[in-house]
Amino acid sequence: MTALMNNALLAIEINQTTLIVLMAVLIVLIVLLAVLATIFILGVKRRGEAATLPSSVTVVADFDNTLGCVALKDEEGMEKALFKPNEVVKVEVKANDGYILSNISVEINENVVARFVADSGEKKLYEGVYEFIVTANTVVKAQFEAVVTEPQVFTFDNIFNGVGGKVVVTDAAGEENNQFKEGETVRISTVADEGYYLATFTVNDEEMQLVEGVYEFVATEPIKINVEFLPIPVVKYNVSVNIDGLGAVNVTDENGEAQTEFADGEKVRIAAVADDGNYLSHLNIDGEEKDTSDGIYEFEINADVVIEASFKAIPVAVDNSQEIAAANADEDEEDEDEVMFDGHNVIRFNKSFTAKLIQIDEVSNAWYTQLKNELLSYKKVKDRMSWKRESYRFGRICVARFVIRGKTLCIQLPLDPTQFEDTKYKVEDISHIASSADTPCLYRIKNERRLNYAKDLIAQVMENMGAERIEREWVDYYQPYDTTLNLIERQLVKKIVKFNGKTGYGGIVEKLTEDPTKVEETKDPTAK
């Protein structure tokens, strides 16, 4: 019985084990079937997805090419616009000068799927390249912005000791400043003090030229200016005097201070003073004879000067008053003939107005031309030349006369001299001279100012006459200088020689040397 029960228990135990094994196998089979089903479902899904993906997609870059450049490339670096789905797209960006990349956005169907800021944030541009995987038609938009930089500020460094002048640094608006932004205009002005000149002017160690004391430039670097004023070198010239005869020559400046050394351009005044019984024969400066009718000569010095003065004894007086009075009966007291004496004979040179005009200085000759053209610019005005003067008439009325007194050109006008008292017109009253009764107003032409005043007086005369001004061609009446000897031959000078109280004209002296003070020996026609 016991054995039977043991067998039965053993059989039951074997059946339980088998059952457990069978159940385990069944579970494994169920798990395996589940895995296979899952794999099958995923495969089917993948096949469906693959069937919906396109074979290629487009990638387009949208950007302003004036600001920068965007290139779309594959992994091998080939630039293209068509890519396979799930292919890597490399976006290379380069901004133009003066601009930087602001941001890039990736858009699919106008929807932004990615955005990043260059070199910042979670999505960055590494070395100008951004990568993404393309799955559909995509637009890559790149935005650039201008680089904003503050201009540099440069400081003005002035190397100037402040001696001999002034330096002013301003901007273009004229405002003084010592700091300038890059690209700003700098204006430098220099003014030298009296007696100084600008010796050095450099900008950043480079010598520059100023225009009317001003130099302008654009600031591009720190500014260093070097300015130096130095005293103007004083050039001195010497005046030496050689004197022949009895007299003195005083050399002074324009203020009358005696000196023999003068600065360049300084005015020199020479005053020749003859001793009693003598007169100044001639005055030469560096060999050139000067007109010293009043004994005074002034000039501006620019070199060393040698002055030579010659004084001679005044000729012994000869009583020929009646002869002179007869010869000059028609002239005024200042218009006398030239009289010379050689110790034996008295020689007189009776010069015509034309001769005097020829031998007058060139400036006075030019003034004569101007005044003559002025007079003849009025209708019905005619001129007539006589031996001693030149007259101008309006109809029968004398409106002007030219005379030469000494070396001075004078004009006589039919005006009342008394009306010009205490005025700028320093006229002279010659109404006491019978031949000038109709033109009692005399005016000496000594300078340009008096020339213009003479024109004013002429205009007043013509207004009084009711004369009409006309258009007339300008005429040059200049006559070149000629010697007295030649003028005698031209019959413009009469020579009168008196031998022992007798007077001879013309042919008594057959020849005259170039020096009219020298007379060739001539036999006295009264000698027996």
For 487-510, what is each residue's pLDDT tens digit?
988 999 887 765 444 444 333 333
Whether the pLDDT of residue 232 is over 60: the answer is yes
Of 140-154, 211-225, 341-355, 387-401, the range with the lowest mean pLDDT is 341-355
Q: Which amino acid is at 170?
A: T
Q: Is 312 exposed, middle or buried (0-12, 13-18, 19+ CB in 10 A)?
A: middle
pTM of the full predicted structure?
A: 0.36
The answer to whether the Cα torsion of 102, 108, 113, 119 is positive or negative is negative
User: What is the percent of the chain where pLDDT is above 70?
Assistant: 79
**Tens of pLDDT along 171-189?**
888 888 777 888 888 888 8
Number of CB atoms found within 10 A of residue 295's CB: 16
Burial state string for 117-133 with b = 16 or more CB within 10 A and e = fewer than 16: ebeeeeeebeeeebebe
pLDDT band at 428 (very low <50, low <70, confident <90, very high): very high
The two counts, helices (H) then strands (E), for the chain are 6, 34
Contacts of 337 (CB under 8 A, 6+ apart): 324, 327, 328, 348, 349, 350, 351, 496
Averaged pLDDT for residues 97-113: 84
**Whether 338 contacts 351, CB under 8 Å:** yes
Tokens coding 71: 């290139």
Q: What would the pLDDT profile of 248-261 be if each residue is shown by its tens digit?
A: 889 998 888 898 88
Neighbours of 85 (CB within 10 A): 13
pLDDT value of position 304: 92
- Tell me what the mean pLDDT of segment 126-141 comes to: 83
Residue pair 62/141 in contact (Cβ under 8 Å)? The answer is yes
Share of the chain above pLDDT 90, in %: 23
Q: Is the pLDDT of residue 331 over 60?
A: no
* Residue recorded with tokens 């007259």: 391
Please write the tens of the pLDDT for every residue from 262-309.
888 889 988 888 888 787 877 888 888 876 656 688 888 889 999 998
Give residue 445's pLDDT. 94
pLDDT band at 523 (very low <50, low <70, confident <90, very high): very low
**Mean pLDDT, rounded, for 161-171:** 83
Q: What is the pLDDT of residue 338?
A: 63
Q: How far is CA 341 from CA 10, 149, 410, in A?
A: 197, 99, 28
Tell me how far apart the alpha carbons of residues 341 and 498 are, in angstroms, rounded to a whole number: 10
Given this model, what pLDDT does residue 521 score? 37
Looking at residues 97-116, what average pLDDT do you find?
83
pLDDT 10s digits, 5-38: 666 555 656 677 777 878 888 888 888 888 787 7
Predicted confidence band at 336 (pLDDT cuts at 50, 70, 90)?
A: low
Section 179-207 average pLDDT: 85
Answer whether residue 525 shows pLDDT above 60: no
Long-range CB contacts (within 8 A, 24+) of 92-98: 92/128, 92/129, 93/68, 93/69, 93/118, 93/125, 93/128, 93/129, 93/130, 93/142, 94/68, 94/69, 94/128, 95/67, 95/68, 95/144, 96/66, 96/67, 96/68, 96/69, 96/144, 98/146, 98/147
Residue in 69, 74, 61 with CA at minimum distance from that of residue 131: 74
Count CB-CB contacts under 10 A for residue 318: 14
